[in-house]
Amino acid sequence: MFPRKLTRQVICDLDNPIVETKAGKLRGVIVEDAYIFRGIRYAEAERFHMPHAVTPWEGVKDAIMYGPVCKEMATPIAHDAYNVPHFYFPQDENCQYLNVWTQAINDPDRKRPVMLWIHGGGFTSGSSVELYAYDGEELSKFGDVVVVSLNHRLNLLGFMDLSEYGEEYKYSGNVGMADIVEALRWIRENIAVFGGDPDNVTIMGQSGGGIKVTDLLQMPAADGLYHKGIVQSGTIANGLDIAQEDAKRLSAQVVKELGLTKETIKEIETIPYYKIARAVKAANEYFTENGEKTVSFAPVVDKDYYMGYGPVNGFRKETLSIPLIVGSVFGESANNFNNELERSHKNEWDAEKRAKFMYEMYGEYADDVLRAFKKAYPKRNEVDALFYDTGFRSGAKVYVTTRSAAGSAPVYDYSFDLECPLNGGTAPWHNAEEAYMFHNACYLEASYIPGVSEELQDAMTGAWVAFAKTGDPNHPGMPIWPPCTEKDIPCMQFDRVLNVAWNHDDELLPLVRDHRAPRNAFGARRRGRALGGGPRQSL
């Protein structure tokens, strides 16, 4: 998927490598010592209907190329192609495909842990091949694990609630998550022939993928199909749940925009996708014009298929036995405040410029924020108080403490803090940790630091693999990483030097969260008095 070496031996014969799944035989490729199967159809589904098992076939199907990804309603977000290299693939609403990387096939005597990666992009975009970091070959080799990634239905295809229009659409507002559940069933039934252990499956994801991990914990249909979870930058204040009344309100307006009725609703299954997407846009424009809140796409809280985000709706007792790793990245999206910040080399700012930005961001609270930041991060450049993330970090702290209070299995907290060399030093951004836990850090130019990246990816991938094997991320070569409690959060800081910080940002987090000027607007508004009532403090 991305270049590793100029020359690599690839084997793909008519009869090798072949595995036999419940539905039929598949042929993949052997790349040096890794077996790779791409584009495996794990489910089938009619539009807006629940997925079901694939139809069996005769002969051997190729699993050599990635399968199509889900259709998206708009042009993909213009990510920085250097910081987070992206790869786009053909789209189709029949997108239930997965990929497998493993070190052995047809080996019934050895069962390896299975690590299922769920992509980000919220619930509207993204795919299993979108980021170069998602390639599972290195992770599979390093940890001797079976890595699986998948595509599933998104946006209107996965989360438009048509339940008001008939029993057949009862779960249409959650079929995107039902696809993931069906993939887990496929793993349960088939992963053994790929060398995987169906009784040791870890679900993991970042951003929207991390939220999907937390949502699976709240879905009875997924119970027993996974055994551990890793949530990366996937905890925000109240999750991304959609109340069912809002979901139905959107669907009703879309149906109206399309000129359909309850009697003609079946036609929505054959209307071209782009026309429904336009109707969704028109529906939200109608809401805006009439003073109603717009509605996005995400799992619908129907209290049947999906019970709602755990910290808000209560954690299901059936999944409290699932151990978790939960964390975020130091900078997340906080590097994108305005053009002047983006153009500048923060580590070269003089005292006047640093104080100027600090005041524009925090106003009269700048001194308080600076003192709290020094306390929380004594070895970090003080200018990074401008880039410290509060969104995902706040959500992570709430999630780990409330889950611990519920009497759950161990929950481990982390923060990815490694400053990247881009622009003379940049706080790590949203997605920056993925290459490190996939053991792919050496292939991403913007964040690669010779010597440092190799050691850190060994430590971080090692922790993820150890957790997948045992439910405990501790392994030789890293400090002891204790689980969280209701009152204490020992945060593993993945940086040049690994460190466990106990409750380190308890004072800092609320200060920054409550007093930071709005993104892209700080400097446009001033606070009433000078910093601390006296001279500005230099950074």
Q: pLDDT tens-digit profile of 307-316?
A: 999 999 999 9
Both 377 and 515 in one domain: the answer is yes
Antiparallel, parallel or unpaired: β 300-301 and 242-243: parallel
Nearest to residue 207, comparing CAs of 114, 298, 115? 298
pLDDT of residue 342: 58
Residue 17, classed as helix, strand or coil, is coil
pLDDT of residue 539: 40
DSSP string, 248-282: HHHHHHHHHHTT--TTTGGGGGTS-HHHHHHHHHH
User: Is 257 inside any structural domain?
Assistant: no
Q: What is the distance between the alpha carbons of residues 295 and 292, in angstroms, rounded to a whole number?
A: 9
Q: What is the distance between the alpha carbons of residues 174 and 396, in angstroms, rounded to a whole number?
A: 24
Give the per-residue SS3 of 491-504: EEEECCCCEEEECC
Angle formed at CA 161 by CA 231 and CA 273, multiple of 5 degrees:
95
Both 80 and 180 in one domain: the answer is yes
- Beta pairing partners, 528: none
* Pair 268, 260: CB distance under 8 Å: yes
Name residues whose C-beta falls within 8 Å of residue 499's C-beta, 6 or more positions apart in sequence: 479, 492, 493
User: Is 147 inside any structural domain?
Assistant: yes
Cα 402 from chain centroid?
21
Whole-angstrom CA distances from 401 to 90, 207, 407, 503 are: 41, 20, 10, 11
**Tokens at residue 235, please?**
């905890």
Both 194 and 332 in one domain: the answer is no
Quick: pLDDT tens for 62-86.
Answer: 999 999 999 998 655 555 667 777 7
Name residues whose C-beta falls within 8 Å of residue 441's C-beta, 6 or more positions apart in sequence: 435, 447, 448, 453, 454, 456, 457
Both 363 and 511 in one domain: the answer is yes
Read off φ and ψ for residue 44, nearest 5 degrees.
-130, 155
The pLDDT mean for the chain works out to 91
Tokens 């010779």 appear where? Answer: 450
User: Is 278 inside any structural domain?
Assistant: no
Both 336 and 465 in one domain: the answer is yes
Peptide bond into 476 cis (omega under 30): no
Residue 441, classed as helix, strand or coil, is helix
CB half-sphere exposure, 109, CA atoms < 13 A: 0
* Pair 457, 449: CB distance under 8 Å: no
Both 30 and 77 in one domain: the answer is yes
Residue 428: give its domain's CATH number.
3.40.50.1820
Catalytic residue among 128, 172, 207, 328: 207
User: Is 405 inside any structural domain?
Assistant: yes
Q: Is 328 a catalytic residue?
A: no
* Pair 122, 445: CB distance under 8 Å: no
* Pair 99, 148: CB distance under 8 Å: yes
Both 416 and 316 in one domain: the answer is no
Both 315 and 374 in one domain: the answer is no
Q: Which domain holds residue 318?
A: 10-240+304-322
Read off φ and ψ for residue 308, nearest 5 degrees.
100, 155
* Pair 8, 31: CB distance under 8 Å: yes
Both 221 and 349 in one domain: the answer is no
User: Is 295 inside any structural domain?
Assistant: no
User: Is 104 inside any structural domain?
Assistant: yes
Last residue of a domain, one of 322, 350, 375: 322
pLDDT of residue 531: 27
What's the domain count of the chain?
2
Provide the sign of the torsion angle of the four alpha carbons 460, 464, 465, 471, taken in this order: positive
Tokens 């030097």 appear where? Answer: 497
Both 311 and 392 in one domain: the answer is no
* Pair 396, 413: CB distance under 8 Å: yes
Average pLDDT for runs of 10 along the chain of length 539:
59 92 98 95 98 98 97 68 79 97 92 97 94 94 98 98 98 98 98 98 97 98 98 91 98 98 98 97 98 97 98 97 98 70 78 91 95 97 94 96 97 97 91 96 91 97 98 96 97 98 98 82 35 30
Last residue of a domain, one of 294, 322, 350: 322
pLDDT of residue 79: 54
Both 23 and 125 in one domain: the answer is yes
Both 195 and 333 in one domain: the answer is no
Helices (H), 89-174: 137-143, 155-159
Q: What is the distance between the alpha carbons of residues 380 and 402, in angstroms, rounded to a whole number?
A: 29
User: Is 225 inside any structural domain?
Assistant: yes
User: Is 276 inside any structural domain?
Assistant: no
